[in-house]
């Protein structure tokens, strides 16, 4: 075995048919023995059969050899994906066609409910092939989304047209209550929106609501005020053209005034809209009011409840090292952060969305599993898949700390947050391999959560986050902790991607050493002074002890006779 892969698996991945034939015919290699496959340009790793590997790698001659020798064309990966489904994702029509000819089941979904057709929305040709071979255009995944939902999410107009022409149900609603039209509105898919409203005879009220929501998407997600105003004015025209009891079509339901929105109400006339067209804050409030009326923010809470229970069940049954456990946790955090952002637009703020109690419960659930998972990672052999899952859970915990800070505004909630974080810091959890601490992660822009379980149109960049970093330091996080590369949190914060004067100052004020040498020989001070955005006097943070340690090392002075308490301090300044 090499990197968890048998010789046959490696030969299949490389496409060397002669070696594959030799290993099967002469060496009697197990044609179903799974190996580790790392998908290019994707952080995920899967354990799959040689046939699955050959299919996703586009090695058709190898596939023919394996199938000739009896390989199972419907054997699934660790995520439940068949070779044909995975080949659909990479749009390899020749591979898909050959697999289908040899008995591949195009109806078999992954464990997440993803179908071949859902994986093929990027190609009308591939969708056509699948539908002609009996694919169900209305099959749904675990989010109750169909291929049509995904085509719209990806702005695939031609695929959308094809699916609609082949009896796709435009009224199926996902778990988030989005049908085809609402999905187009939420994604800002304006061409698909136009196609749908011309194809389907929606009621005037539904059409007006959808047009208003479209405007809000352009305002919120694309910062396009001009397009937002265009759609909002079109919605007013629809309402004015459909009079009810002598008045324009009303906006329903009527929401009560809220202090968080400064008691504002939605515009109902063109004059009211024109009066605020240059007032960005007023337009932001209007956009938020429209979203709350049409979408009902309570749907997020229902989804959080569902995903939280799913996570609890998974943790009860499996370790957090299990890939599905990590993926569910990532999906839940993605949903909660999206909820928080949608309900705290700019200066308008709902005090506790998502609920502080939910954040606390999920934080406790994940943290309680860290010690056991860490011990399991010490047992050989150690699998990269398990390490990645562990790292993913630690990232989730950092984002939960962010949510604790953001939702816990009352004094008793702040006290709970501090105790939770203090207890976490005492555990000193570190990522697998690199050995980054929680503080390392919370000063890095690269600390993001990605998931394929829940579709979102953007990645939330939370870190570096000054409030989270300050809390960690107050709770005892080691400001000079080193990872395996001898990199400290200050090294990471000093990079041009993460640089913030307030963040650098905070770390230095808590005792971060400005001249610690990492494995590349670089110090934070070198990185900081090269940044034109620097606005502080670094001389205040260079102590006499630091100068002395550097002098000892520079001059080659024997320092082993110094007090033991100073050895580590000198080591900080030594090049590895």
Least confident of 16-30, 167-181, 278-292: 278-292
The more confidently predicted of residues 537 and 411 is 411
Segment 23-46 mean pLDDT: 84
Distance (Å, rounded) from C-alpha 369 to C-alpha 371?
6
Q: 42-46, 86-90, 203-207, 426-430 — which is least confidently predicted?
A: 42-46
- Give me the residues paired with residue 46 across strands: 37
Determine the Cα angle at 323 with ends 36 and 55, to 5°.
Answer: 40
**Which pLDDT does position 86 carry in this prediction?**
93
What is the structure's pLDDT at 368?
A: 95
Q: What is the pLDDT of residue 547?
A: 67
Q: pLDDT band for 349, please (50, 70, 90 cuts).
A: very low
Mean pLDDT of 316-339: 87
Q: What is the Cα–Cα distance from 448 to 458, expressed in whole angstroms?
A: 11
Helix 466-474 with 501-509: angle, nearest 10 deg:
0
Report in angstroms the alpha-carbon separations of 183 from 128, 217, 226, 450. 23, 11, 21, 21
Quick one: pLDDT band at residue 297, thresholds 50, 70, 90? Answer: low
d(CA 7, CA 50): 10
pLDDT of amino acid 348: 39
The yes-or-no verdict on residue 70 having pLDDT over 90 is: yes
Rounded to an integer, the average pLDDT of 468-487 is: 96
Task: Find the mean pLDDT for residues 190-210.
Answer: 96
**pLDDT, the chain, mean:** 89
pLDDT digits 0-9 by tens, 417-472:
999 999 999 999 999 999 999 999 999 999 999 876 555 556 788 999 999 999 99
**Cα 473 to Cα 544: distance, rounded to the nearest angstrom:** 24
Residue 202 gets the label, from left (phi > 0), alpha (psi -120 to 50) or beta, of beta
List 237's β-bridge partners, or say none.
none
CA 189/CA 175 separation, integer angstroms: 20
Of residues 109 and 351, the one with the higher pLDDT is 109
The number of beta carbons lying within 10 Å of the beta carbon of residue 197 is: 17
Determine the 3-state secondary structure of 318 from DSSP. Answer: coil
Count CB neighbours of 229 within 10 A. 18
Evaluate if residue 560 carries a pLDDT over 90: no
Q: What is the mean pLDDT of residues 141-154?
A: 94
CA–CA distance, 259 with 246 (Å, rounded to integer)? 32
Instruction: Output the pLDDT for position 79.
Output: 84
**Entry pTM:** 0.62
HSE-up of residue 1 (Cα within 13 Å, Cβ side): 9
380 burial level (CB within 10 Å; 0-12, 13-18, 19+): exposed
- Cβ neighbors of 72 (< 8 A, separation 6 or more) are 32, 49, 51
**CA–CA distance from 124 to each of 63, 96, 97 (Å)?**
25, 14, 15
CB 326 within 8 A of CB 394: no
Q: What is the average per-residue pLDDT within 327-347? A: 76
Q: What is the CATH number of domain 1-105?
A: 1.25.40.20
Per-residue pLDDT, averaged over 76-94, amounts to: 93
Which range (119-128, 196-205, 567-576) has the least confidence?
567-576
Residue with the bigger pLDDT between 232 and 342: it is 232
Quote the percentage of the chain above a pLDDT of 70. 89
**Domain layout of the chain by residue ranges:** 1-105, 302-344+352-474, 479-542, 544-575
Phi and psi based region of residue 387 (left: phi greater than 0; alpha: psi -120 to 50; beta: remaining): alpha
SS3 annotation, 454-518: CCCCCCCCCCCCHHHHHHHHHCCCCCCCCCCCCCCHHHHHCCCCCCCHHHHHHHHHCCCCCCCCC
Give 331's pLDDT tier (boundaries 50, 70, 90).
confident
**How many whole angstroms separate alpha carbon 145 and alpha carbon 173?**
7
Top pLDDT among 72 and 514 is at 72
pLDDT at 46: 82
- Choose from 15-29, 286-300, 339-353 the range with maximum mean pLDDT: 15-29
pLDDT of 345: 43
The CATH number of the structural domain formed by 479-542 is: 1.25.40.20
Interatomic CA distance for residues 442 and 489, integer angstroms = 9
Domains 1-105 and 479-542 alike in fold? yes
For range 506-522, the mean pLDDT = 90
Q: Which one is predicted more confidently, 65 or 300?
A: 65
């Amino acid at each position: 075995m090499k990197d968890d892969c048998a010789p046959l698996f490696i030969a299949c991945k490389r496409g060397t048919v002669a070696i594959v034939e030799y290993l099967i015919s002469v060496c009697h290699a197990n044609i179903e023995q799974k190996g580790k496959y790392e998908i290019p340009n994707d952080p995920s790793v899967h354990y799959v059969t040689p046939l699955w590997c050959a299919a996703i790698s586009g090695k058709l001659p190898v596939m023919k050899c394996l199938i000739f020798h009896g390989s199972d064309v419907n054997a699934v990966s660790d995520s439940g994906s068949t070779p044909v489904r995975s080949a659909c994702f990479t749009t390899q029509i020749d591979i898909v066609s050959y697999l289908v000819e040899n008995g591949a089941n195009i109806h078999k979904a992954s464990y997440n409910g993803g179908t071949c057709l859902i994986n093929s929305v990027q190609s009308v040709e591939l969708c056509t092939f699948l539908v002609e071979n009996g694919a169900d255009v209305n099959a749904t995944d675990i989010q109750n989304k169909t291929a049509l939902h995904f085509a719209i999410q990806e702005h695939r107009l031609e695929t959308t047209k094809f699916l609609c022409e082949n009896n796709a149900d435009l009224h199926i609603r996902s778990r988030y209550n989005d049908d085809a039209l609402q999905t187009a509105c939420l994604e800002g898919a304006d061409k698909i929106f136009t196609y749908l409203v011309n194809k389907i005879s929606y009621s005037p009220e539904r059409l007006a609501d959808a047009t208003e929501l479209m405007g809000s998407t352009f305002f919120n997600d694309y910062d396009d005020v001009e397009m937002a105003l265009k759609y909002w004015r079109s919605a007013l025209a629809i309402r004015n053209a459909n009079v009810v009891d002598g008045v324009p079509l009303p906006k329903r339901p009527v929401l009560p005034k809220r202090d968080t929105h400064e008691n504002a109400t939605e515009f109902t006339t063109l004059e009211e809209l024109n009066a605020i067209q240059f007032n960005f804050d007023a337009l932001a409030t209007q956009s938020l009011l429209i979203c709350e009326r049409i979408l009902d923010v309570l749907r997020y809470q229902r989804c959080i409840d569902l995903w939280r229970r799913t996570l609890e069940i998974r943790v009860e049954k499996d370790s957090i090292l299990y890939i599905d456990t990590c993926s569910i946790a990532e999906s839940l955090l993605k949903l909660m952060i999206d909820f928080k952002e949608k309900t705290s637009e700019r200066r308008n703020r709902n005090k506790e969305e998502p609920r502080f109690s939910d954040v606390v419960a999920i934080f406790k659930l994940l943290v309680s599993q860290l010690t056991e998972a860490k011990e399991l990672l010490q047992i050989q052999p150690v699998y990269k898949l398990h390490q990645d899952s562990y790292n993913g859970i630690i990232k989730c915990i950092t984002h939960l700390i962010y949510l604790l800070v953001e939702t816990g505004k009352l004094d008793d909630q702040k006290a709970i947050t501090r105790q939770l974080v203090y207890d976490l810091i005492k555990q000193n959890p570190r990522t697998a391999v690199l050995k980054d601490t929680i503080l390392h992660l919370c000063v890095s822009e690269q600390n993001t959560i990605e998931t394929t379980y829940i579709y979102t149109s953007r990645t939330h960049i939370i870190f570096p986050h000054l409030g989270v970093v300050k809390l960690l330091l107050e709770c005892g996080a080691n400001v000079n902790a080193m990872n395996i590369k001898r990199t400290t949190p200050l090294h990471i914060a000093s990079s041009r991607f993460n640089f913030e004067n307030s963040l650098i100052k905070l770390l230095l004020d808590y005792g971060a050493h400005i001249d610690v040498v990492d494995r590349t020989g670089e110090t934070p001070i070198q990185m900081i002074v090269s940044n034109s955005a620097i606005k502080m006097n670094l001389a205040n943070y260079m102590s006499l002890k630091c100068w002395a340690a550097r002098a000892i090392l520079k001059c080659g002075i024997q320092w082993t006779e110094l007090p033991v308490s100073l050895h580590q301090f000198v080591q900080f300044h030594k090049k590895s």
